[in-house]
Structure 1
């Protein structure tokens, strides 16, 4: 049914708080960013009637078979960098568009009443723990220099080096942390996902891949700069970013990689760059974003188009396989969900997935908390500048936890 609350913003806030009490929930919020390729402003999926799990998704056909069994359902979930997968069919689904909410439930009026009775309270994040670096500053520098040597030797021409910040035996009010992070850093692909003891709190600004009908869209981000303290300084920083040859070259290299990835799913001659080096501003940073699209060739299943492009090129480097082999050699520890993707299948095998960056992960049973940050290394990259960019990308989560 379609419900039109008298106060849509208040109903959204209550609905998210109501959903957070369930053991399985996925909240995807675009934060009202204008997006010609998206289809919802807020989605809340609660409970599960069925689920798909895989410790190592070697064959995407298993996931496709699961989707084929539920052709009309919206199915949220995630893929980790190492191809662990989790997707579920929600018990209750709320999708918000233009001041109205569509509620899919056996008794939607019971859902409305339960949400309207929610008492909004501001809860403390209550983080207790000590944040540590998986990679010291010196170790980062050594890895950076070694990877740049690989570039000079011609093994690769760009690579994304990432590092983990973590806390053991920590505690956190995860939903309060999500609300606060979404306030500090509202982004078009923010997410709160809870599955049993695992919590994902994401402020991702980046789309990995979207399918609408016969069209695939990818929007890699390469190029980051901080916001200015005054309008004049902000404009100056934007202009520097737009003309930064190193940032431009990073972005164009990944655009070429994504074009190549999309070719595997595309009708001949349909891969095109719709926007190159678009400058977009978020609350914490400015970013250079390019948009690449193609028309899908007949007979290609949705999950195959994901398999043909996964993991996101902006998080690996180029050539992709060579870069991934070096990533496993030089990064300390596994990426896990970081550099993977969260999103949903939207019935009829359409989908929309983000890139998991600017994301906090917490296990409430073990107390392990983790977030990664990274940046691209090219022949022109400066070690200290790249390290400072990592700290900039971590600033919203560090502010949250401090």
Structure 2
């Protein structure tokens, strides 16, 4: 009850975020719930000098909580890439803020970092949770048809046969124009229907991220870097025996393992740019984890951070998440820009925080609704891996499976 009240309290501010682990076991988590609200200072940057600006912002506010997000399209700043696809969402490419109020909840112990801690607690306690509302009536449209998806996926596979790439994440956009939603209520419903360990509500003025992300992009704990890419998906079943069967199929699938290990290798390579030589390792390969709608194959790669590498550079060296690009990374990103037809914006980017002790933790923005309340444009994207062995019809159905929780809360 407190968690939900705190969400609606935070949503009353012009800037706020909620990071919720939803009770999932996570050896690297600092908290079960973090809420930050009311910007005392903020950084909004677009492609050009975003990471330099972020370093300056961190130096300006040392040993502070700094939540924020990074758009996938920062790849155009990191690499020699460009994007001409339309962007209806109009989010900044990078945004961070210094919050006036920070709340941390872990194992039923609440800490409030604020000059008005008692007032904050009382305000949350007095916050009313909205009574059950009807689902919003959002007219969802597909940016590309199923036929077009299959044709494009086949063309992508020809690039794989030619040796241009060997795996990629091909994404498609679903969108709604003139959409009117209550973002906090929609996130509340999404977090109920699809609880995940890296769920995120982020409000930056009239821009909203409503995320049910199951994936960690990159975290730092003391001198250790941790990345946990997801590659490999199987649908859940309501019947225990069938559900276990599907999990075992995923666990033993040569195709899903090949996808996963290719991305593990990519992430290992990215981490070497920031790591002490010889410390990059896979702590877990092909772990199977279950969520409400899907089973996922997740691997954990770690490294010891080279102390000569700035933490912002450690993020930049690995960004964007390899699970959302493909490999080789640059060529895969070039091809997806050509085939997808929509700018990814915050989708496939990352949201998270820097903490006062020098650590950080960022998710991958997937299974997420992006909403611009000013122009009433709503968007969510889903993707799946295309490899030589991919069944393209099955990959399309996997996209719909990943979108199912979002479609449900939007009344589709």
TM value normalised by structure 1: 0.96
- Name the SS for the 1:172 alignment partner: coil
- Name the SS for the 1:114 alignment partner: helix
- Name the SS for the 1:82 alignment partner: helix
Is the Cα–Cα contact under 8 Å of residues 223 and 241 in structure 1 kept in the other structure?
yes
Is the Cα–Cα contact under 8 Å of residues 95 and 101 in structure 1 kept in the other structure?
yes
- Cα RMSD for the two superposed structures: 1.1
- Name the SS for the 1:60 alignment partner: helix
Q: Which residue of 1 aligns with 2:377?
A: 368
How big is the shift at 1:266? 0.7
Q: Does 1:22 align with 2:5?
A: no
Question: For residues 60 and 364 of structure 1, what CA distance do their matches in structure 2 show?
Answer: 27
- Name the SS for the 1:392 alignment partner: helix
- Name the SS for the 1:265 alignment partner: coil
Question: For residues 153 and 119 of structure 1, what CA distance do their matches in structure 2 show?
Answer: 59
How big is the shift at 1:123? 4.2
How big is the shift at 1:124? 1.8
Distance change (3 Å), C-alpha of 1:114 and 1:368 = same
Q: Does 1:304 align with 2:295?
A: no
Q: Does 1:183 align with 2:192?
A: yes
Q: Which residue of 2 aligns with 1:261?
A: 270
Is the Cα–Cα contact under 8 Å of residues 18 and 200 in structure 2 kept in the other structure?
yes
Question: For residues 150 and 124 of structure 2, what CA distance do their matches in structure 1 show?
Answer: 51
Which has the higher mean CA deviation after the structures are superposed, 12-21 or 40-49?
Answer: 12-21
Q: Which residue of 2 aligns with 1:135?
A: 144
Is the Cα–Cα contact under 8 Å of residues 4 and 188 in structure 2 kept in the other structure?
no
Is the Cα–Cα contact under 8 Å of residues 57 and 85 in structure 1 kept in the other structure?
no
Q: Does 1:36 align with 2:45?
A: no
Is the Cα–Cα contact under 8 Å of residues 275 and 292 in structure 1 kept in the other structure?
yes
Q: Does 1:270 align with 2:276?
A: no
- Name the SS for the 1:49 alignment partner: strand
Question: For residues 320 and 34 of structure 2, what CA distance do their matches in structure 1 show?
Answer: 24
Deviations, residues 320-376 of structure 1 (Å, cap 9, x unaligned): 001001011111110010000000001243100000100001111211000000000
How big is the shift at 1:161? 0.3
Question: For residues 50 and 65 of structure 2, what CA distance do their matches in structure 1 show?
Answer: 22
Question: For residues 123 and 72 of structure 1, what CA distance do their matches in structure 2 show?
Answer: 40
Equivalent in 195, 200, 221 of residue 204 of structure 2: 195
Q: Which residue of 2 aligns with 1:7?
A: none
Q: Which residue of 1 aligns with 2:324?
A: 315
Deviations, residues 184-213 of structure 1 (Å, cap 9, x unaligned): 000000011111111110000000000111
Is the Cα–Cα contact under 8 Å of residues 125 and 177 in structure 1 kept in the other structure?
no
Question: For residues 36 and 113 of structure 1, what CA distance do their matches in structure 2 show?
Answer: 32
Is the Cα–Cα contact under 8 Å of residues 278 and 289 in structure 1 kept in the other structure?
yes
Distance change (3 Å), C-alpha of 1:334 and 1:44 = same
Q: Which residue of 2 aligns with 1:61?
A: 52
- Name the SS for the 1:323 alignment partner: helix
Q: Does 1:250 align with 2:232?
A: no
Moved over 3 A (4+): none
Which has the higher mean CA deviation after the structures are superposed, 12-21 or 118-127?
Answer: 118-127
Q: Which residue of 1 aligns with 2:2?
A: 11
Deviations, residues 188-239 of structure 1 (Å, cap 9, x unaligned): 0001111111111000000000011111000000000111121101100001
- Name the SS for the 1:240 alignment partner: helix
Question: For residues 347 and 162 of structure 1, what CA distance do their matches in structure 2 show?
Answer: 36
Q: Does 1:224 align with 2:267?
A: no
Which has the higher mean CA deviation after the structures are superposed, 362-371 or 112-121?
Answer: 112-121
Question: For residues 390 and 11 of structure 1, what CA distance do their matches in structure 2 show?
Answer: 34
How big is the shift at 1:121? 3.0
Question: For residues 69 and 282 of structure 2, what CA distance do their matches in structure 1 show?
Answer: 27
Q: Does 1:212 align with 2:194?
A: no
Equivalent in 317, 334, 339 of residue 330 of structure 1: 339
Is the Cα–Cα contact under 8 Å of residues 135 and 409 in structure 2 kept in the other structure?
no
TM value normalised by structure 2: 0.94
Unaligned runs of 5+ in 2: 75-92
Aligned pairs for 1:166-177 within 5 A: 166-177=175-186
Unaligned runs of 5+ in 1: 1-9
Q: Which residue of 1 aligns with 2:115?
A: 106
Q: Which residue of 1 aligns with 2:42?
A: 51
How big is the shift at 1:126? 4.7
Distance change (3 Å), C-alpha of 1:363 and 1:59 = closer
Question: For residues 339 and 128 of structure 2, what CA distance do their matches in structure 1 show?
Answer: 49
Q: Does 1:384 align with 2:384?
A: no
